[in-house]
Amino acid sequence: MALTLAEAAKLSNDVLLQGVIETIIKDSPVLQRLPFIEIVGNGLTYNREATAPSAGFFDVGDTWTESTPTFTQQTVTLKIMGGDADIDNFLIATRSNIQDLESAIVQLKAKAVRQLFEQTFVTGNDATNPKEFDGLDQLTDSGQSLSMGVNGGSLTLDKLDELIDTVKGGKPDLLLLSRRSRRILNKLARTSGSFLETDRDEFGQMLQFYDGIPIGVSDYISDAQTQGTSSDCSTVYAFQTGEGALVGLTAPGGLQVERVGSLETKDASRTRIKWYSSLALFNALKLARLIGVRP
């Protein structure tokens, strides 16, 4: 069963761990909606449907033709991400009446873990850096990649609708784009005489919707991508999440906060935040992207 980090936090009795998870997901539209599957071992091998079976009409006495789907085998390994947070014992003894130093420092480290995951979620490439997992750019099938043109072009609502329709089996669960692309989308909506729908999410934050699909903003989608002769392009992603679509992988226990304890070489105690995680796409038709989006 796949659980989001928000649901996993509800099952934890560790107050510090709950605080870390809440810090990580609060400002992340991806981690708020991306479910994670716990796997035993250091990786997962699964079959991704490559071609669908066909069917047809037959007359009496016809020879029936056989057609079965084909699959490609995919293997995803868990990657180790995290960091250590050291809290000086002198500061704890002399400044603890002002602020909970452990909580503050661990939250900043948790924010760094979130930023690393979100960046890798978009741009991760196992081929160039074996320590990280493949992100959206590597997972998107060539047939699921649309373009605004040879040298890019201005975003249009028609092209955005085409991107949404490229995700098969229902609407996407999230549209992920840069801040610049969101401003462009807002302008397009106003120009057409309408506005993007808005509502509050479970964290009390305002969330925008296009055609009923949540819009997420990522600071790790570059607005300086190259498309043909243009170097000011960006990308918009659309995807479904969950088992059978795009899903996160994690080791049993998920995100962990480990109190290492006192250090030998300095007067401080150490807390380690670690996460054995990765990303898997079970069906290529559940993820699509639109490249070459210019201002």
Q: Which of 238, 210, 236 is nearest to 223 (CA)?
A: 236
Q: What is the span of the domain harbouring residue 168?
A: 145-243+284-294
Same domain, yes or no: 126 and 165: no
pLDDT for position 25: 58
For residue 62, tell me if it sits in a domain. Answer: no
For residue 128, tell me if it sits in a domain. Answer: yes
pTM of the model: 0.84
Per-residue pLDDT of the chain (295 residues; tens, 9 = 90+): 454 555 545 545 455 555 555 655 567 788 888 998 898 888 888 888 777 788 999 999 999 988 888 888 888 999 999 998 888 888 777 765 545 777 777 778 878 888 899 999 999 999 999 999 999 999 999 899 999 999 999 999 999 999 999 999 899 999 999 999 999 999 999 988 877 888 877 667 788 999 999 999 999 999 999 999 999 999 999 999 998 899 999 998 777 888 888 888 889 888 888 889 999 999 999 999 999 999 8
Same domain, yes or no: 159 and 222: yes
Domain CATH for 25: 3.30.2400.20
Same domain, yes or no: 257 and 121: yes
Same domain, yes or no: 31 and 130: yes
- State the Cα–Cα distance between residues 149 and 167, nearest whole angstrom: 20
Cβ(199)–Cβ(207) under 8 Å?
yes
Beta strand segments in 31-172, E: 36-38, 43-51, 70-77, 79-88, 145-147, 153-154
- State the Cα–Cα distance between residues 100 and 4, nearest whole angstrom: 28
Same domain, yes or no: 109 and 158: no
Same domain, yes or no: 128 and 154: no
Same domain, yes or no: 196 and 218: yes
For residue 110, tell me if it sits in a domain. Answer: yes
Question: Which H helix or E strand runs over 259?
Answer: strand 256-262
Domain CATH for 219: 3.30.2320
What are the start-end ranges of the H helices in 148-288? 157-166, 179-191
User: How many domains are contained in the chain?
Assistant: 2
pLDDT for position 16: 52
Same domain, yes or no: 106 and 120: yes
Paired tokens of 77: 């390994």
For residue 227, tell me if it sits in a domain. Answer: yes
Q: How far is CA 249 from the centre of its chain?
A: 11
Phi–psi pair at 20, nearest 5 degrees: -65, -45
Q: Residue 131: beta bridge partners?
A: none
Q: From residue 61, how far is each of 55, 133, 206, 269 by CA, in Å?
A: 17, 53, 63, 80
Phi–psi pair at 177, nearest 5 degrees: -150, 175
Paired tokens of 228: 């043909």
Same domain, yes or no: 259 and 233: no
Same domain, yes or no: 222 and 260: no
Same domain, yes or no: 289 and 158: yes
Cβ(264)–Cβ(121) under 8 Å?
no
pLDDT for position 1: 46
pLDDT for position 276: 92
Same domain, yes or no: 130 and 112: yes
- State the Cα–Cα distance between residues 174 and 104, nearest whole angstrom: 31
- State the Cα–Cα distance between residues 207 and 182, nearest whole angstrom: 12
Q: Residue 198: beta bridge partners?
A: 208
pLDDT for position 234: 97
